């Protein structure tokens, strides 16, 4: 196996992993964003004393 073909193989595998991790990262950011919003709204409610 030549170095170039091995590199291409690794690139393909990396791309597949990259998309999955990127999707996961996006999901995690969305979750953390929602959690942050929830925390801020709760703290605001507590500060107001609603």
Task: Report how far residue 4's alpha carbon sits from residue 9's, in angstroms, rounded to the nearest whole number.
Answer: 9
Q: What is the DSSP letter of 49?
A: T
Min mean pLDDT across 1-10, 16-25, 29-38 is at 1-10
Residue 12, pLDDT > 70, answer no
Decide: pTM greater than 0.85.
no
Query: Mean pLDDT across the stretch 8-30?
Result: 78
pLDDT for 34 equals 95
Domain ranges of the chain: 21-50
Residue 38, pLDDT > 90, answer yes
Task: Report how far residue 29's alpha carbon sits from residue 50's, in angstroms, rounded to the nearest whole number.
Answer: 29
Q: Which long-range contacts (CB under 8 A, 24 or more apart) does 22-26 make?
A: none
């Amino acid at each position: 196996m030549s170095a170039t073909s091995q590199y291409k193989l690794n690139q393909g595998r990396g791309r597949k992993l990259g998309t999955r991790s990127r999707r996961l990262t996006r999901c995690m950011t969305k979750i953390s964003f929602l959690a942050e919003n929830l925390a801020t709204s709760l703290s605001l409610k507590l500060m107001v004393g609603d």
